[in-house]
Structure formats: structure tokens, C-alpha cells
């Protein structure tokens, strides 16, 4: 990290911002130096996203000063900020999914000749170079909607890096990335900050402690719209950081002591499936018991996510059999899965988990419309009473059940996305990266909801891009590699090294075991 007297790329002094009279940033000071990663930490709703949106031109501050390169600045648009050397990589992707990768990379910055002709050949080569830089091997003509979420995230990163910005804002950039891509991104960050001629400054937002301490030169913590502390990372121990973020002590994720295994709930025998996104699972077998949390681990494209979606009726089972409570079942649609007591929390709450413009109560009632509308008549009072009970039980922080879900913090949105399934009291709960983009406080609440469900006998199958989370929560971990089960570990056997080795195709554990 450069000396503190170095000229700052960004300086914020006393920045304030309000929405509808509610102050979300209060006298915030912040600075970013060349050649450093400055982590912006805090719970969802702390003001992090508001601050970086001001820096990226998506919002304007109400009071205070923002200086870019020593000059006071008030961006009027994202395009103006981009032209000024600021690039932002969003957690909730900003790509146009119906367009090609190449068209997304050049959207608003098309290569045009003096006669107005689009230089598609030039754009294609530049796109190939940009994608190669982030380690993504896809044809630039590929439609973004056909890519898995992790690949879309890498396209978003490539787009931000194409224009040689000196100020990079990364908002949860690894939330959808498997470990090899995470390491590739970290290496890229190291290159950008150490560029001798033009060292970049990077503002990095993450809720993952290992990432924060792997990358951060300095850390600033926001809480309830105020700056709590700014410190060199080496001078801010992990416990102090968490306490500054939440204002209280937070325990590490733990699984309650193992109980006697319950009755078999779900059995899969040698199934081969095609997921809706093209991913495959081949000849996989497993068993899930009541009250058990089973983890599915694997690299991008391993098939773990596809397996969850197929069990929820989103995809096609080519061969093999599925049994619930010992009886063979055919799951051809999500409605059919729900009738068998299966629920799925997807890994993208914005696009597939919630209806953003619908109220909290409306979202909580969505999977239970038939139950709340017997005979085709909607029972608003019944919906409202159920929503109020769920808000209390799931500790959703909101003004009322009528509040649009899009106005909630990410953590509270995730609790709504999970809560809408828990109110149905499923027997099998499928969780696809359940704490993606969620702060440490909200994670604890989600862990509590999962543990409460298993205490009632619910069987849980979950994936996570956060391997320590799988190791801490799961009774067993099934590892997939290129669609095949390569290993199984119980909670005593599973280690980061053994799981990663199996995910890369090395033998380990009890390969292919169905337990």
C-alpha cells in the first residue's frame, strides 16, 4: 500500500444522502489511494451501496464533498463517471441478458467509423482479449441469457476492466463465482493495484471474511449510515471488525451436535439429468434423511445446481429413479415438486427468487396462492395474518407487510425469499447458495431458520460458493465433478483440502456412495 500522503483517487468529506426524508448516509468520510484495495464493510442497509453509487454516478449526494483526483466532482450520470475513470461491478448484474456478450461489453461505447459504420470485427477481437483477461472462454456472440450466473459475473468484470478505469468499485464480485474463478479474480486485482505506470484503486465490498483479509489494505466500516472506523487491515482483528459492523458479538456458523439419523426422506438412484441451463448430472445416487443437512459441493458446471433444479421440476430426468418416503415419484414441474413437499430457494433472488415490485406479504404468499384462495377467491385477511406471523418469525426488518420487497436490504430480501417457502412447511428444502450477498448478521438469521427447519424433521440439500459455510453447517457433503459424484464426506471427514481435491476430480471419501 502506498504512503498515506499519496494523492487520493477519491476523497469524500461529510457526504450525506437521504431518501424520502430518511437519512441513509450521515457525514461520511472516505478516501481511496492509488495502488490499494479499500474494503467497505457493513451489514446490508448500512449505506455501502448508496456511497458507491454516488461515486459511480448512479446517485448524487445531498451534502458534503466528493473529490476525484483532487477535483470536486458531482457526476450527473453513470456514463459521465465512466468517462471520468470510474467503473463499477455490480452484485446484481447489470447485463442485458437478451443481447450477446460482445454487445454488452460495448453497450454505449460502440466502435464506429467516421462514416457511422459499426466495426464489428474490431469489437470482436477486443471482446476476445477482454474475456481472455478474466479467464473466460466463451464466444463473444453468445447470448448472455444462456450463460450460467458465474460466467455472467465474469462478463460483468470484463466489461468494467475494458476501459482502463483507475477507480474500480467491486460490489460482491465473487458472490456467484466458484473457487478457481475467485482466485483468478484475486490475481487480477493484484495486477491492477501493482501496475507501476497507472496503479488502480479498488473499492471492494464483501461479506466474506477470508476475502476481506486476503485483499484489504484498509477497511472502512459503515453502520446505520455512519462511518464507524477506518483502519489498516492488519490493525483490525476479525472479531473487532464484526463487532464494528453489527454492534454486537456474532458467533461463527455452527451445526448443532449431530443427532441420530432420521428416517429416509429422499432417495435418488443413478439418475442422469439435463438441467434447464444445459448442465448435466450423470449416474448420481444419494439419500437424504429427516433432520439432515446435506451439502453439494463442486466447481462451476459440476452439476450441483442442476441437480437441485431438476428435483424441483426444472429440467429433465433422462434415466434413473427418485423416491420420496420410499415411494417412486415423477417430478415434471415445480407445482408437482411442491405437491411432494419440495421447496427451492434459488441463487438469484432478484430474478428468480422474488417479485421485486410486489409487497413483502405478496411475495410470502406467492407459493401458497391456492391455500390462501380456496375456491378461487382471494382471502386478503388470511394472507395478511400469515404475512405478519412470518415477518415476526423470520425477523424481517420492515415497516409493514405492504412494503415493496425491492425497498428492503439484501439480507431481508433473502429472508423473504426463504420465508415464502418455510410458511408452506416443506419436508424437503433445497437451498442454492442461500447466503449469497448477505451480511454476517443476516447470515446468522438464515442459519437459525435452517436449523429450526431441521429440528422439525425437514431434510435440507444445499449448495454454497462459500466452502467454509458448507463445512460448518452440513452433516454430509456430496462432491460432484463434471456431473458425476466423486466423493462423499461426513462432517468429521470433510476438510477444505479433501473437498476441493474431489471437486477437481481426485478420488477421496466414499466415491459415489448413496449413504
> The CATH number of the domain where 303 resides is what?
3.40.50.300
Q: Which three cell numbers stand for residue 123?
A: 469489437
**Are residue 394 and residue 438 in the same domain, yes or no?**
no
Residue that is last in its domain, among 229, 250, 271: 250
Residues 107 and 142 in one domain: yes
234 or 398, which is more confident?
A: 234
Checking if the pLDDT of 255 tops 70, the result is no
pLDDT score recorded for residue 509: 55
Is the entire prediction scored with pTM above 0.75? no
Query: What was the pLDDT predicted at 258?
Result: 59
Q: Which three cell numbers stand for residue 350?
A: 432478484
pLDDT at 253 over 80: no
Give a yes or no: residue 488 inside a domain.
yes
Query: Both 8 and 70 in a single domain?
Result: yes
Are 171 and 228 found together in one domain? yes
Domain stops at, among 197, 228, 250: 250
Is there a contact between 413 and 349 (Cβ–Cβ < 8 Å)?
yes
Residue 257 has pLDDT above 90, yes or no: no
DSSP 8: P
SS3 content of the chain, % helix, strand, coil (to 5): 35, 25, 40
| pLDDT band (50, 70, 90) for residue 382 | confident
In a domain, 347, yes or no: no
Q: Which of 219-223, 377-381, 394-398, 444-448 has the lowest average pLDDT? A: 377-381
Q: Cα 440 to the chain's mean position, in Å? A: 13
Summarised one tens digit per residue, pLDDT across range 3-22 is: 443 479 999 999 999 987 77
Residue 211 lies in a domain: yes
Q: Are residues 317 and 447 in the same domain?
A: yes
Q: What radius of gyration, in Å, describes the C-alpha atoms of the chain?
A: 24
Q: Cα–Cα distance between 246 and 121 in angstroms, integer?
A: 51
Same structural domain, 321 and 443: yes
Range of the domain at 114: 96-157
Same domain, 28 and 55: yes
With a cut of 90, say whether residue 299 has pLDDT above it: no
| Percent of the chain scoring above 90 in pLDDT | 39
Q: How many other C-beta atoms are found inside a 10 Å radius of the C-beta of residue 214?
A: 15
- Whether residues 243 and 229 share a domain: the answer is yes
Q: What is the pLDDT of residues 60-81, one digit of tens each?
A: 999 999 999 889 999 999 889 9
List the helix and strand counts (H, then E) for the chain. Answer: 17, 20
- The beta-strand segments (E) located in 152-225 are 167-171, 201-205, 218-223
Residue 330 in domain: yes
Residue-wise pLDDT tens digits, 136-164 = 889 999 999 888 777 887 888 888 888 77
Tell whether 308 and 433 lie within a shared domain. Answer: yes
Cβ within 8 Å of residue 269, ≥6 positions away = 285, 320, 321, 322, 323, 514
Q: For 231-253, give the secondary structure using H, E and C.
A: EEHHHCCHHHHHHHHHCCCCCCC
Give 83-128 as a DSSP string: HTTEEEE-SS----TTSBHHHHHTTT---B-TTS-B-HHHHHHHHH
Residue 153 sits in the same domain as residue 286: no
332 located within any domain: yes
Is residue 351 domain-resident?
Answer: no
Model pLDDT, residue 4: 41
Are residues 234 and 186 part of one domain?
yes
Which range (176-190, 214-228, 282-296) has the least confidence?
176-190
In a domain, residue 91? The reply is no
Q: In the listed set 422, 443, 475, which residue is the last one of a domain according to the structure?
A: 422
* Residues 182 and 215 both lie in one domain: yes
346: in domain: no
Domain count, the chain: 4
Amino acid at each position: 500500500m502506498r504512503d498515506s500522503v499519496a494523492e487520493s483517487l477519491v476523497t469524500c468529506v461529510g457526504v450525506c444522502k437521504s431518501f424520502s426524508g430518511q437519512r441513509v448516509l450521515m457525514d461520511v468520510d472516505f478516501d481511496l489511494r492509488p495502488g490499494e484495495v479499500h474494503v467497505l464493510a457493513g451489514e446490508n442497509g448500512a449505506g455501502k451501496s448508496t456511497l458507491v453509487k454516488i461515486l459511480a454516478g448512479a446517485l448524487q449526494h445531498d451534502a458534503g464533498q466528493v473529490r476525484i483526483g483532487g477535483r470536486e466532482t458531482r457526476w450527473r450520470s453513470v456514463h459521465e463517471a465512466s468517462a471520468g475513470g470510474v467503473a463499477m461491478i455490480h452484485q446484481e448484474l447489470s447485463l442485458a441478458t437478451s443481447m450477446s456478450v460482445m454487445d454488452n461489453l460495448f453497450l454505449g461505447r460502440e466502435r464506429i467509423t467516421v462514416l457511422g459504420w459499426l466495426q464489428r470485427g474490431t469489437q470482436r477481437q477486443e471482446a476476445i482479449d477482454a474475456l481472455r483477461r478474466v479467464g473466460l472462454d466463451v464466444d463473444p456472440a453468445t447470448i448472455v441469457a444462456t450463460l450460467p450466473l458465474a460466467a455472467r459475473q465474469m462478463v460483468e468484470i470484463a466489461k468494467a476492466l475494458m476501459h482502463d478505469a483507475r477507480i474500480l468499485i467491486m460490489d460482491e464480485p465473487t458472490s456467484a463465482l466458484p473457487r478457481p474463478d475467485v482466485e483468478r479474480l484475486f490475481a487480477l486485482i493484484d495486477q491492477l493495484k501493482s501496475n507501476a505506470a497507472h496503479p488502480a484503486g479498488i473499492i471492494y465490498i464483501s461479506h466474506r471474511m477470508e476475502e476481506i483479509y486476503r485483499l484489504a489494505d484498509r477497511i472502512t466500516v459503515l453502520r446505520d449510515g455512519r462511518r464507524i472506523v477506518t483502519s489498516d487491515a492488519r490493525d483490525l482483528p476479525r472479531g473487532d471488525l464484526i463487532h464494528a459492523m453489527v454492534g454486537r458479538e456474532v458467533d461463527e456458523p455452527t451445526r448443532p451436535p449431530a443427532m441420530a439419523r432420521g428416517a429416509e426422506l429422499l432417495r435418488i438412484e443413478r439418475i442422469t439429468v439435463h438441467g434447464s441451463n444445459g448442465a448435466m448430472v450423470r449416474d448420481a445416487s444419494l439419500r437424504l434423511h429427516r433432520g439432515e443437512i446435506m451439502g453439494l459441493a463442486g466447481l462451476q458446471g459440476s452439476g450441483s445446481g442442476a441437480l437441485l433444479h431438476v428435483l424441483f421440476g426444472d429440467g429433465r430426468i433422462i434415466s434413473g429413479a427418485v423416491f420420496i418416503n420410499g415411494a417412486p415419484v415423477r417430478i415434471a414441474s415445480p407445482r408437482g415438486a411442491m405437491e411432494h413437499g419440495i421447496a427451492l430457494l434459488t441463487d438469484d433472488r432478484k430474478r428468480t427468487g422474488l417479485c421485486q415490485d410486489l409487497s413483502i406479504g405478496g411475495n410470502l404468499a406467492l407459493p401458497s396462492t391456492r391455500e390462501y384462495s380456496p375456491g378461487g377467491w382471494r382471502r386478503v385477511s388470511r394472507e395478511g395474518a400469515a404475512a405478519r406471523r412470518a415477518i415476526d418469525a423470520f425477523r424481517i426488518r420492515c415497516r409493514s407487510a405492504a412494503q415493496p420487497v425491492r425497498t428492503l436490504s439484501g439480507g431481508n430480501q433473502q429472508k423473504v425469499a426463504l420465508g415464502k417457502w418455510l410458511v408452506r412447511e416443506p419436508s424437503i428444502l433445497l437451498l442454492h447458495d442461500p447466503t449469497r450477498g448477505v451480511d454476517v448478521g443476516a447470515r446468522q438469521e438464515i442459519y437459525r431458520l435452517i436449523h429450526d427447519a431441521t429440528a422439525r424433521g425437514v431434510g435440507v440439500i444445499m449448495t454454497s460458493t462459500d466452502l467454509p459455510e458448507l463445512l460448518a453447517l452440513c452433516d454430509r457433503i456430496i462432491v460432484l465433478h463434471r456431473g458425476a459424484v466423486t466423493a462423499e464426506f461426513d462432517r468429521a471427514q470433510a476438510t477444505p483440502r479433501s473437498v476441493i481435491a474431489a471437486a477437481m476430480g481426485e478420488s477421496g471419501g466414499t466415491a459415489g456412495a448413496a449413504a
